[in-house]
Structure 1
Amino acid sequence: MEKQNLKILLIDDDPIEALKFNRAVSDSSHHKIEVVTDGDAAMEKLETFRPNIILLDLNMPLTDGIEFLGFLKSNDSLRQIPVIILTTSDNDSDLRYCYNIGIAGYMIKPLSYEAYEEKIRGILNYWSLNNFVKA
């Protein structure tokens, strides 16, 4: 099976995280990456951009990751989009809630850039081999 280029929505309020993410994938793919800084902006972006996967931080201003997940998973036309949590929160209740609502994965952001890059590439390599529900 041939790898496909992904349409990715990164939802994270930290501009450094967005830079790290883009750097981690820039030399190995031609993925289409859209970045927004909170759940409200993500809901707006989803009106015109349908990603294959969403990478979501939990701790954000306005509509945070938990609230955004509630919106996404209650929407019949969006709930099938795989969501991978990409956060600093190792809170067990966050982890349980996210899996109970139907996320595809939960990753704690590593401190070192090299470990971060390895995890991001692993996630994208895996998802680039998947088949997705067409919206």
Structure 2
Amino acid sequence: MSEVSSFASSRGKVAFDTTFGQDGAMNKIVLEHYPVSKLPEELRQGFEASATVKVVVEEENRTDASLFTYPGFAKFSDKQPPAMTIEEALENVRRSRESDRPSVTTEEAVARIRMLRDEWDDE
């Protein structure tokens, strides 16, 4: 959810946008057309005093509280499993084909779906 408001500045109108996470906590603030002269000294470096800038403030390493809404989700890692090599992918295909699962043709699949659909029409 995002809320946009504005306020008057000595340099004109400043747009103020806040973004809230699912837990209702503010997790991002965006100030557009913000006067450089109002920034702290260490942030003014490299800008002209009369310029305006866009300021984005986000918390680093923020733990998303929505993960903990359902306790079982907290144990899952954000890390992705390593990508498979082409050899591993081909081996998985080979094992799948050898697992004695019968293959179904398109016609067989369509006939089965129609049969299941027609069961509902009979009721």
**TM-score, with structure 1 as normaliser:** 0.18
Which structure ranks higher in relative contact order (CA pairs < 8 Å, sequence separation ≥ 6)? 1
Which protein has the bigger strand share?
2
Larger Rg: 2
